[in-house]
Structure 1
Amino acid sequence: MKPDFPMIAAFVAGIMTLPVAQADNFHGKTGAMGGAGVASADLVTGMSLNPASLAAIREEQGFNIQLNAGALTSDEDDLIDNAEGLRDRLDVIDRRQVTLDDIQFVADKFNQLANKSLLLSAGASAYLGMPTSLGALAVHGKSELRLGATTEVDQTDLDRINDARDSANLIQGLVDQYGTDFSNYTPQQAAAVVSALQASGLLTPEQINQALATGSLDTIELLDVDDIQSEFVGRGAAVTEAGITFARRFQDTSVGITVKAQRVDVIEYRANVQNFDEDDFDADQYRADGSGVNVDLGIQHEYGNWRVGAVASNLMKETYTAPTGHTVTIEPRLTLGAGYRANGFTLMLDADANAYDNMITGQESQFARAGIAIDVFDWAQLRLGYKSDLKSVIADTTTVGLGFRAFGTANVDIAAITGDNDTVGAILQLGLSF
């Protein structure tokens, strides 16, 4: 089947309007193999990893369409739930006298939130590949969304809350022994209470004078919500792109190039913990966008059953900045791969040759990936994979997947992802060749 260029134009226009977000190789086949496949992924998913893979398409295959969607999340510490619980209790405390139970709750929540984080990736993509008289051609649209959240707990807040808890315990002990109201104390009891408050070193003279002036231990203000400085921070980026790939085979070597237009939305949300609202993450005041053009280059070579490959992605380095100053850099990445295929068995190994900034934390990540696939009969595949961040910033993940091919034209591929820090995810791929 020869290319229908009006169909191509309509396809590109359609995928450019999709409200999608793709993240770190969310493709049902290679995603189930840890994301490996630079050297030996087939053309069905190879375009997403190495443009040279597209050269494997044959003229008699005609068009090949692939749609992918998936999501991955890591929230071991229930960050959002704990942040919302803290915010709601602080809002209540701000309207009434703080209790020992309040202070204990706030202290527990601050300890649960300190040095904790949430990560979310989600997305989808669409590809259309076809043969031409000069080589193989493909168009694609994809986008990736990566969000992270953390609580930047101020040490002064922790010290203040711990002091308030100790003070509340002291006052509760005095109430249990003498009662709440000074009017019910004997002069000796009143002197003992004041002496205990002063000797503890936990209360300021102003707080002690407040109790004396009101005649009650219950009126001492132990925690002022307005003094809390800790912040909830959400960071992320959405990278949306549309591009065209051309690949050609020269005997045992294939080469490919992808030229793509990119739009990058950078997000940094900051709010005091008592004002946190997850629905404000994508508000305009926390988001900025920019656009550019980028290029990927790839090569593959076969040695019998063995294959090697390399891909240089995003050759044009660009930096994008949120209104708050948080930056995201799209930077070059070189990935090397090796693979083996024989008798229904496939092995893939990939490794990033350089580290690159994590879009959320700004820390560098550098991944190694491995995967295997085993043919089951003529219409199914079992896949396993593993992905590890050599910089230990992102949790390692293990993947498992199944692929089904019907009538030689349709494919359905699913993958499940699990990893450290309660990391879970899933990917679905649907494809059609005609």
Structure 2
Amino acid sequence: MKKQQLAVALSLAFASAPSIALDGSDARSIAMGGTGVASANHLTAAFYNPAQMTKFDQSDDFGLLLPALNVSLHGTKDIYTDVEHFIDADKQLGKDFTTGFDATEAQRENWIDALKKLDDAAVEANLGLGFAITVPNNTLSVNLFSKTATATKLSLHIDESDLDITNKRDGDTMASTANLRAGMVTEVGLAMARNVTLPYLDEKISLGISPKIQKVVSYNLYDRIVELGSDEFKLPSDYNETTVFNTDIGVSYRPYESLTVGLSGVNLISQQVASPNINGHVSTFMVEPEFTVAAAYDNGWFMAALDVDLNESKQFDNTQGTQYARLGMELDAFNWAQLRVGYSAGMTEKSTNQVTAGFGLSPFGSLALDLAAKYGSETDMGVALEFSLNI
């Protein structure tokens, strides 16, 4: 096996991406642990809870988010070290395993041990891009938005027959496989929200809805690891796609001026798109409903927010779902600069804990630059950037 084969396989996870479902779609939210259902403003509300579009200052007449960009990577623990270990072990072996061995017993054992560690190793890459144009008002706040989220996952599986290298015959090939799955959702929608007075209670709640058109793409590569290092190897060009209607809904309520509670439902219509059949293998990319309950305290210079996912969500069939409880805080210095921190606590085995942080610069309270980062481990991290205008 050529030493480049695993490196090529790993690089495909990133090169093929055009979100795990992402923890937040804009830099402010990501810096605050992925919160947003009760803490988003009118500009980013369409990404979390359309009802939050009623949250604006009377001086706000127009908002532009152009763009919000985020990327995240997640890999099996020590996957990069393990891959380097195998490449070195394969190089020391000195010969392709199908042509017989002159290697020492120690070199063979080292090669087998390195290959074993790659079993069920995986790398995920997610990319998100969002835009929004909003016109807030007391009659009906509207937000024209677009968002693209991609998710790419590379999984390695080691076949036990490859570990029995002493019985390999000339011409045998590795049976271990690499599976690259990718999905993309591009959506364009119009979010609308207004305050409604509850009869008999004289209390106002905010109701929001976001009808949208989605384009869902599913892609799949399934091949032997040995083929990925071949000079003749080419990525499959086929993919399946569909265009569908979907919708988000949300509710926000302020029992006190500084306290907001919210509930949102995103992607209420479940979608599943199967990839083309590649070497007898089909991958299904999934867009599933996600429900979140949240609360946020905001006194003007300090905000604390808590979002809790009510259900698990997953992007591919035959994978474990993710579910989080998210906490975020923000300090605002005269609407000119913001400091943010957060924490995402995983509620399932698949969900990993992450710490988040970021800052914002908004001179004159209109033009803003926001940066964010999240970190779970050396193989689990992400960054986000956004520009916005609010006048």
Query: What TM-score, normalized to structure 1?
Result: 0.74
Does 2:130 correspond to 1:125? Answer: yes
Report Cα offsets for 1:106-150 as digits up to 9, x if no partner. Answer: 424412311211111112111110136741111111111111111
Does 2:242 correspond to 1:295? Answer: no
The within-5 A match list for 1:357-396 is 357-359=314-316, 362-396=319-353
Shift of 1:93: 1.3
1:399–1:330 distance in 2 versus 1, CA, 3 Å: same
Counterpart of 2:154 in structure 1 is 149
Kept in 1: contact 2:323–2:351 (CA 8 A):
no
Shift of 1:407: 1.5
- Could you say what secondary structure the match of 1:357 adopts? coil
Does 2:136 correspond to 1:136? Answer: no
Shift of 1:156: 2.7
Kept in 1: contact 2:18–2:184 (CA 8 A):
no
- Could you say what secondary structure the match of 1:93 adopts? coil
Q: How many angstroms apart in 2 are the aligned matches of 1:243 and 1:84? A: 47
Q: Which of the two has greater helix per residue?
A: 1
Kept in 1: contact 2:266–2:290 (CA 8 A):
yes
- Could you say what secondary structure the match of 1:42 adopts? coil
Instruction: State the one-letter code of the partner of 1:99.
Output: D
Q: How many angstroms apart in 2 are the aligned matches of 1:298 and 1:348? A: 17
Instruction: State the one-letter code of the partner of 2:25.
Output: F
Q: How many angstroms apart in 2 are the aligned matches of 1:115 and 1:346? A: 41
Counterpart of 1:49 in structure 2 is 48
Q: How many angstroms apart in 2 are the aligned matches of 1:138 and 1:341? A: 23
Counterpart of 1:173 in structure 2 is none
Unmatched runs of 5 consecutive residues or more in structure 1: 1-18, 165-202, 204-221
1:379–1:73 distance in 2 versus 1, CA, 3 Å: same
Does 2:324 correspond to 1:319? Answer: no
Does 2:206 correspond to 1:254? Answer: yes
Kept in 2: contact 1:266–1:321 (CA 8 A):
yes
Unmatched runs of 5 consecutive residues or more in structure 2: 1-16, 198-203
Whose radius of gyration is greater, 1 or 2?
Answer: 1
Report Cα offsets for 1:286-322 as digits up to 9, x if no partner. Answer: x321221100000100021221100011111121101
Query: What TM-score, normalized to structure 2?
Result: 0.82
Q: Which of the two has greater strand per residue?
A: 2
Aligned partner (choices 172, 175, 193) of residue 229 of structure 1: 175
Kept in 2: contact 1:386–1:396 (CA 8 A):
yes
Shift of 1:23: 3.7
Kept in 2: contact 1:57–1:131 (CA 8 A):
yes
Report Cα offsets for 1:142-176 as digits up to 9, x if no partner. Answer: 11111111111112323x13xx2xxxxxxxxxxxx
Kept in 2: contact 1:348–1:370 (CA 8 A):
yes
Counterpart of 1:308 in structure 2 is 261
1:271–1:99 distance in 2 versus 1, CA, 3 Å: farther
1:341–1:156 distance in 2 versus 1, CA, 3 Å: same
Q: How many angstroms apart in 2 are the aligned matches of 1:309 and 1:281? A: 48
Shift of 1:64: 0.5
Counterpart of 2:237 in structure 1 is 284
Kept in 2: contact 1:358–1:365 (CA 8 A):
no
Counterpart of 2:368 in structure 1 is 411
Does 2:103 correspond to 1:100? Answer: yes
- Matched length: 356
Quick one: percent identity of the two aligned structures?
25
